[in-house]
Structure 1
């Protein structure tokens, strides 16, 4: 256990406490405070929650609210519903069709983020983008989507990319239901919707909460939309992860960036504790 403990201590525990320490200083990359940072207490946290600028674009509060909207729309509504729908439909198709569908859907998830980002950028390009070519072929006016609707672009992009992960989780949940339940429903003449409403959904209710927590954590920390919009235009797509990157590695304000990182860790800790609590309750239920 010693080598593993050393690796965890060096690459996980030490950076964790270092970030917390830096969040209480005015450390920067350049200037006097880069060499001799000063202890500033809660000044970085107070500046983040300053009520005067909290809701302004480019500030922490605006990014936090934007991220909350992004998570609700793309993860809780988009990914969860689409993933559940795909997983349910795959339960009743031939194995060959199921394998092909899973391959194409999962490909959107396993491909490198940079490749996916540039593919979508080319798809949405105003001059030579595939989407505008399709629009023009249908007699519809083209649009500069990354400029006119940047927030909805990253929402749809994240739903498209993350639905595969949600689908795999729900697919495993549906597979855990004994087939005899559905066979009995078929004999009784139940429709697909009735089987989903009365058998499938009630039996995977615990899995649904777990999936929602996992995709919420994943979406809350995602950085991929940066490849499409760079956080713009005018900070309209600057999620909390992109805001942290800008403050720490563009403005070189490591102290303030570390404070944002600590807040993000606390939010993730809440989700993790809920996830672990649900896992313990499920384990107790299985033993019982």
Structure 2
């Protein structure tokens, strides 16, 4: 009798039981997101409203200054210079570098198999999985002015890559380091393009570029936008350039992540650094919303 009553209750309210189970399953993930993402973000926003510093009276008794830190950041020439450098870094190494090279490698390897494909994929992925400190040291040794490997190979000893072309150096470095993700994502996406469509395009006399434009790109548009969203945000917040150039020379590679580090930790002004971080967060949200809207338009 009791079993029949329980079964009747479950049958009468299946949606409620399902919602309870779903809530129980996602609750641990939501707690982790709240603890490690939401709370730190809210704390940074609150910190940006104060004059909190690492040392001095403000370290013991910080005062609320409202939007003064945000106004200072927006009116700062250094902030806008770092923003422009970050845009160059993202466009050069992510949108153009990683996306283009990742797709090119994936397209060239799509019909190949055997040791050559495994070797190329392994070398590309190796650059991605090595620790940042290790690859940064290797690139400093590669680009060194006096005993650098690149100068020795090119026969131009004494050429200072990190001093004369610092932005180009970190763009090439980040392209080399991050291409693996785009390669793997595009490799999986190209597997979903029907071979019969490509064959029909070839039989119709379409060139290689026309096949890409009319057949391949429409099929993988969602993957392209997803890849651009992720690598753009990762590159926008990347701190690795600091390990190569420390933001120099003369601030020529002081992207926003490095700018925040210098203001908040080296300068000791945590409140102002938190305000800049909040502005960076807002920029990230704008970029994310832009890409997500494009993804939704693609699905309609």
Give the shorter-chain TM-score range: 0.7 to 0.9
* Distance in 2, Cα, partners of 1:163 & 1:5: 31
Asked if 1:91 is matched to 2:110, the reply is yes
- Which one has a bigger Cα radius of gyration? 2
- Given that 1:27 and 1:255 are in contact with CA atoms closer than 8 Å, whether structure 2 keeps it comes out as yes
Partner of 1:25 in structure 2?
50
- Given that 2:222 and 2:295 are in contact with CA atoms closer than 8 Å, whether structure 1 keeps it comes out as no
Instruction: Tell me the secondary structure at the aligned position of residue 63 of structure 1.
Output: helix
Partner of 2:214 in structure 1?
198
Q: Given the alignment, which residue of 119, 124, 132 partners 2:138?
A: 119
12-21 vs 230-239, greater mean Cα deviation: 12-21
Alignment CA distance shift 1:170-1:119 (3 Å)? same
- Given that 1:24 and 1:43 are in contact with CA atoms closer than 8 Å, whether structure 2 keeps it comes out as yes
Greater fraction of residues in helix: 2
Q: Given the alignment, which residue of 245, 257, 264 partners 1:229?
A: 245
Asked if 1:82 is matched to 2:101, the reply is yes
235-244 vs 159-168, greater mean Cα deviation: 159-168
**CA offsets, 1:107-152, max 9 Å, x none?**
111111111111101111122110111122xxx4540111111111
Q: Given the alignment, which residue of 197, 210, 214 partners 2:230?
A: 214
Q: Given the alignment, which residue of 68, 74, 84 partners 1:65?
A: 84
Partner of 1:261 in structure 2?
277
Partner of 1:161 in structure 2?
177
**CA offsets, 1:189-222, max 9 Å, x none?**
6554443233212322232222222211111111
* Distance in 1, Cα, partners of 2:295 & 2:201: 30
* Distance in 1, Cα, partners of 2:261 & 2:172: 23
* Distance in 2, Cα, partners of 1:172 & 1:5: 29
Q: Given the alignment, which residue of 243, 255, 271 partners 2:259?
A: 243
- CA displacement at 1:275 relative to structure 2: 4.1
- Given that 1:210 and 1:278 are in contact with CA atoms closer than 8 Å, whether structure 2 keeps it comes out as no
Instruction: Tell me the secondary structure at the aligned position of residue 198 of structure 1.
Output: helix
Instruction: Tell me the secondary structure at the aligned position of residue 55 of structure 2.
Output: coil
Alignment CA distance shift 1:71-1:209 (3 Å)? same
Q: Given the alignment, which residue of 4, 7, 11 partners 2:36?
A: 11
**Pairs aligned (count):** 275
Q: Report the RMSD for the aligned CA atoms in angstroms.
A: 2.0
Partner of 1:39 in structure 2?
64
Asked if 1:152 is matched to 2:168, the reply is yes
- CA displacement at 1:173 relative to structure 2: 1.5
Structure 1 moving runs of 4+ over 6 Å: none
Unaligned ranges ≥5, structure 2: 1-23
- Given that 1:74 and 1:155 are in contact with CA atoms closer than 8 Å, whether structure 2 keeps it comes out as yes
Unaligned ranges ≥5, structure 1: none
